[in-house]
Each structure stands twice: as C-alpha cells, then as structure tokens.
Structure 1
Amino acid sequence: MAGILEQDTLRGRGVRRLVWGGAAALLLLPWVAMQFTDEVDWDAADFIAMGVMLLAVGMAYEIAARIARGNAYVLAAGIATGACFLTVWANLAVGILGNEGNPANALFFGVVAVAVAGSLGVLFRAGAMAWVMVATAAAQLAVCLYAWLAGLGHVFVFTGVMCAAWLAAAWLFHYAARRVA
C-alpha cells in the first residue's frame, strides 16, 4: 500500500482527461435519460447547479494535482471532495433529513463549509488538512447528534459513511505530510 501512495501517478494527462471527461459525462447523463423516460425531469437550473458542482470537483482536482507530491495527497483530496459533493448532491436532490425542503438539511451544508473554509484557511497544507478533515468528521457527528436529539430525524448510517470518508482523508493527508517532512 505504501508503494502506491508514494507514487506520483494521479497527476498526469490521462487522469486529468478522466476527471474532466467524467464530469462532462455525468452532466450529460440526465439529458440522455430525459430522452428515454419521464422519470428524469431536469430544468436549466438543475443543469446549472450540477455543472457548478462538477466544476468545483474538477477545480479541486486541479489544485490537488498541483500541490501533491504523491498519490496520498491526491487520493485524500479526492475522498474529501467526493464527500463534499455527495453531501451537497444528496441534500439538494432529496434531502438528508426528510425531504429537500426540510430546513434542518441546512446543517449539513455547514459540514461542507467546515471542510471548505478549513482547507482554504490552512492553504491546503497536508499536515493541517489532516486536522481539517478530523474537524469535519467531528462536525458531521455533531450535526447527526443534534438532529437526533432535537427530534429532527436520525442519519446514523449516512453519518458513519461520511465520517469514515473524512477520517480516511485525514489519514491520507497525514501520510502525505509525513512523506514530505
């Protein structure tokens, strides 16, 4: 495992094409589905929102690829970005607590804000990013507990999966920082 993490293979032209091509394919997928079924009914606002989200993912990859000195950092950034993306996507699409109209769902945007603001605040430095990811996992857990204790609903499985993602990213950022030191 250490050998794979220390390699520098996730920053090449092929990976960049995969990231941006995958984003374009994901954006086109609902349009294609709309040609065959009435179950998918996106309007311009839906495509714009998804386009902005996919652009953010692509830009996160570009930043990680420029900063990284090995696969560990890029993988950590990918996991963290994926967790942010899934949180926002699920929240906008169907809502994490109840439906998308439930105001309690705004709490989960706060978790993403911890990750984004923390990352910007530490200027994406690997060692500090590890702590940002731990703080984000703590925020995720706090939101879950608050929602449960306030009677807003419970999302224990979602919280467990997301905390695992944040902590995996933390471990990889820590590994990347140790490699540089």
Structure 2
Amino acid sequence: MIRYVRRFSRTERTLHWVNAVCFLYLLATGLILYLPSLAIAVGRRPLIKDMHFWGGITWVSLLLVVALFGDRGGLLRTARELERLDDDRFNVGQKVNAILTAAFTILFLASGLLLWFGERDTRFRFASTVILHDGLMFAALGLLVGHLYLALIHPATRHSLRGMTLGDVREDWARTHYPRWSAVSRRTR
C-alpha cells in the first residue's frame, strides 16, 4: 500500500499557484513590451503597458491577500525554515529559489512603480530602473526554467509536483529526497 505524507498546506499551494499564474501573465505582457517583433505583431502598446502594470499590482495584491487570510502561522513557520541553508523540508536549491523569488517580487514591484510613475513625473525617472527591471526578468526567467525542468521533466524530482497540486507526496519518495524532514514528519503524525 502506498502511503502519503502531507508536504504543503492549502495556503502554501495557493500562494505558489497565484505567484505562478501572475508571473507567467507578467512575463507574457512584459515580453510583448520588450521584444520589438512581438510589440509590432500585437500592437496597442499603451494597452499592453496598462495590462502589465495592473497585472503587477494584482500579483502583489493577491499574494498579500493569500498571506493575510491564509494560514499565517504556517507561512511564518515556512519562512523560518528558509533561514537555515541546510536540507530539511526543502533542499538548499529550493530555499535559494524561494528567497530569490521573494526578493525579485519586491524589486519588480519597486522598479515597476518607478517606471510607471517616471512616465508621469520626471522626479521618479532614474536611468538604471529599466536596466534593473529587465535584468530581473532575465534572472527570474532563468529561475523559472530551472524550476520547471525540475518540477516537470527531471525524473527524480517530478513527483514533487504532486505535493504542489494535491499537497502530499509518497512517503518513500520523501524518505529518499528529504530524509531529515521525513523523519520529523513521521514523528509528528
């Protein structure tokens, strides 16, 4: 009989999927603005700019709504797990990815607001804001490609997708990939 162990709470999964869907939307609208061939093909640049800006505001707002109205205690425990760069419920790569994703979110918001307000008031226009926003996009795209490869393609880690969709993973898989967390999880059941 296959046994499963709870890996992610409903709040953690909701936060992940809100982040994923909104980021992909922003990536699509951002690439339309960034790549001249896409901008010409799509046209309506002012509309795409508005969609991108309000998509960013929606992204951060939804993340805050999930964090405020979801299991805050659970999210705080998860955040504390990220403070130690050793393997437990998450491996070091997952922890670095989560930390960078959170930092990028803040930097995307700050640089996006500066770009938006800079078009309306020159006091908010800084030469390096576009470079920061574009550089973040390339770095975040690299993280996304690595994340998708490990979650969808790499055979050893593909089962982790079940944890992010249904919340649980096979106990034998958890023992193999996260032995310290698996041992603690078995003791607390």
Q: Same fold (TM over 0.5)?
A: no
Which structure would you say has the larger RCO, counting Cα contacts within 8 Å and 6 or more residues apart?
Answer: 2
Find the structure with the greater CA-based Rg: 2
TM-score, normalised relative to structure 1: 0.31
TM-score, normalised relative to structure 2: 0.30
